[in-house]
Chains A and B, each alone.
Chain A
């Protein structure tokens, strides 16, 4: 008998919360991106766990698409970071105040 799904769900919740904490407290845009990846992975782990608990392949299909979207998101996001860095020479989120009133 394998590990019950609740343990996986708690682990995924802890991982998600660590990612959210990092997104809240870090200032480096790249590290904030990595924290978003942490949260995406926590959601993926939850989907796979539910897929096993319900015996349904749909959860794994969702993870498949989340991987695709995450790859696209990282490519565009890092492109934006590079474009911003070219203007501001900084990767801190506090320096992005051009829209401040």
Chain B
């Protein structure tokens, strides 16, 4: 196996080695940094390394999408939520709520990676029948051409379904992030004595009674709770 590694050209080997180091360092940064902002920045590091490896494997379109969507949208959304919630204070990593969970997790990880490497040295992995979508370089076309043709012909229905999925996700994010209107009940935190005169319940819990806003939902709902934090994805 190391012989195969040596048979690769020097630039390829160097690219792979540096990207692998960047990816693993970023992943370690995500799981070890106490500050959530640092974790998000380490995540960007890992995503860039993966994008480089996409380019190295002639998946140039996916590399561009990886940078634009992941590093450009998802991580920015993460950072936005971290700073919006103000949870960038440090987490106490030392405390361990579940006894023995960490050693057990490390043991599981060691078993898993050992099993994967044992499989790797003993088996030929890429087996099975090919899909119907065609070759990566059909007729010496570019990667974008081949990928676009597959997406818009063979996988057209799945592509249309993603449109519905994205619309549902946006609507869901808006509904989740919307501040409850004054007077709308948050069942869990309603004080018993403020339940008020019961209106006839028509269709569930969303009856819009007219109690003053001061009685409803104290606690965490800060005054500046934003209206639109879900549209970034």
Name the residue of chain A whose CB is nearest to the CB of B15: A3
A58 near B158 with CB under 8 A, answer no
Q: What residues of chain B lie closer than 8 Å to A80, measured between beta carbons?
A: 176
Q: Tell me if A57 and B117 are in contact (CB < 8 A).
A: no
Residues of A within 8 A of B221 (CB): 86
- Over the window 14-38 of chain A, the binary record of Cβ atoms lying under 8 Å from chain B Cβ atoms (1 yes, 0 no) is 1101111110111110110111011
Contact of A75 among B132, B170, B225 (CB under 8 A): B170
Which of B23, B56, B125, B130 sits near A6, CB closer than 8 Å? B125
Q: Indicate if the CB atoms of A49 and B105 lie closer than 8 Å.
A: no
Q: How far is the CB of A40 from chain B (nearest CB, A)?
A: 9
8 A Cβ contacts from B61-75 to A: 61-62, 65-66, 69-70, 73-74
What range describes how many residues of A lie at the interface? 35 or more
Range for the number of chain B residues in contact with chain A: 35 or more
- Interface segment out of the listed B43-51, B197-205, B206-214: B43-51
CB neighbours of B215 from chain A (8 A): none
Say yes or no: B105 contacts A82, CB within 8 Å.
no
B165-187: CB near A (< 8 Å → 1, else 0) gives 11011101101110000000010
Known: A3-B56, A5-B125, A71-B69. A21 touches B106 (CB 8 A): yes
Give the complex CA separation of A49 and B177 in angstroms: 38
**B117 contacts A10, C-beta separation under 8 Å:** yes
**Chain B, 37-89, CB within 8 A of any chain A CB:** 39-40, 43, 46-47, 50, 53-54, 56-59, 61-62, 65-66, 69-70, 73-74, 77-78, 81-82, 84-85, 87
Contacts of A20 in B (CB 8 A): 108-109, 112
Q: Chain B interface (Cβ within 8 Å of chain A)?
A: 1, 4-5, 7-9, 12-13, 16, 20, 23-24, 27-28, 30-31, 36, 39-40, 43, 46-47, 50, 53-54, 56-59, 61-62, 65-66, 69-70, 73-74, 77-78, 81-82, 84-85, 87, 91, 97, 101-102, 105-106, 108-109, 112-113, 116-117, 120, 125-126, 130-138, 143, 146-147, 150-151, 154-155, 158, 162, 165-166, 168-170, 172-173, 175-177, 186, 188-189, 217, 219-222, 225, 229-230, 232-233
If A22-B31, A67-B70 are given as contacts, then 4 extra A-B residue pairs at C-beta distance below 8 Å, sorted by A number, are: A1-B12, A31-B91, A34-B39, A52-B136
